[in-house]
Amino acid sequence: MTILLDTREPDPHPWAQHLPDGWRIETGTLETGDLALARLPDGIVIERKTPPDLAGCIGASRERFERELKRSRYCGRFIVVVEGDLRDVCAAARGIHPNAVVGTVAAWTTRYCPIVFAGSVESAANFSFRCLAGQVKDIQRSAGVSAAIHAHEVSQLLFEHACRTDSHMISARLSEHTRALTARFTAEESYRKELQHRKVLIDKVEAFQTARQAIEAVLKRLRRMPIEIGPQCNPQEPLRATKIMQREVDEVISAGSKEIHAIRAARIQ
């Protein structure tokens, strides 16, 4: 893996002795920052600072450094790595109150980018190299995830195609089965209705006998009318006579209906 080192950095570089095995440094020009991967110059960019460097940026070189921090927004990720801790920076910032140093570091971290106090040159180098290598792993992981997603999408499409193919066959079979069930239900319903009709309908001879018995009951009552009703009807009172005859007719009809119901009840039993 190749590290791109800005031409403004010292040569030999203090981090060179801490390079991982198989890594090498290549000098080039970076618009912002000091180190980046040669193949990913727009990815993570490291700004190396010694405690006196950062103290100078807080003091006399503040405007220049803040312009660089503003330019860092165009990087994929910009990280300031300090070869010391915050106390070292406060000690190097002569004439600047420690509270001002802490406040400035907090403000820059909030507005622009992380500022990491590694504590030593070796720790700063190891931290920076891990950050640069980490983005390569992230890219490889993303590529692997993308390939897995693509494979999943392909398998999903194949599965959906197979389901669609099977669904046509299943739909046809279900349709055929539904038609068979419908025909069966229709036949059973017709059979049930026929049985019900057979229970209700009676034979012609039986119907004739039922009608004859009902008519005989009516005729019997009608034969008795002149004897039982005649004396009650007075020609001088036609309205009363009409009511008596109407009542008698209703009783005759009722007698015929009762006879029919009795015959039906006997047949059912």
Amino acid 7: pLDDT? 93
Of 207 and 57, more confident: 57
Q: Are 15 and 48 in contact (CB under 8 A)?
A: yes
Give the H/E segment covering residue 247: helix 238-268
Amino acid 118: pLDDT? 95
* pLDDT one-digit tens code per residue, 149-192: 555 555 555 555 555 545 555 566 667 657 766 776 677 677 66
Whole-number Å distance between alpha carbons of 108 and 232 = 127
Residue owning tokens 């008795």? 224
**Cβ contacts of residue 74 below 8 Å, gap of 6+?**
32
User: Confidence band (pLDDT; 50, 70, 90) for 205?
Assistant: low
Of 56 and 269, more confident: 56
Q: Which of 4-18, 78-92, 213-227 has the lowest mean pLDDT?
A: 213-227
Count CB neighbours of 185 within 10 A.
10
* pLDDT one-digit tens code per residue, 122-138: 999 999 999 999 888 87
Domain ranges in the chain are: 2-147, 202-268
Amino acid 10: pLDDT? 92
Q: Are 248 and 225 in contact (CB under 8 A)?
A: yes
For the 2-147 domain, the top CATH level (class) is: alpha beta
Instruction: Kindly report the pTM of this predicted structure.
Output: 0.54
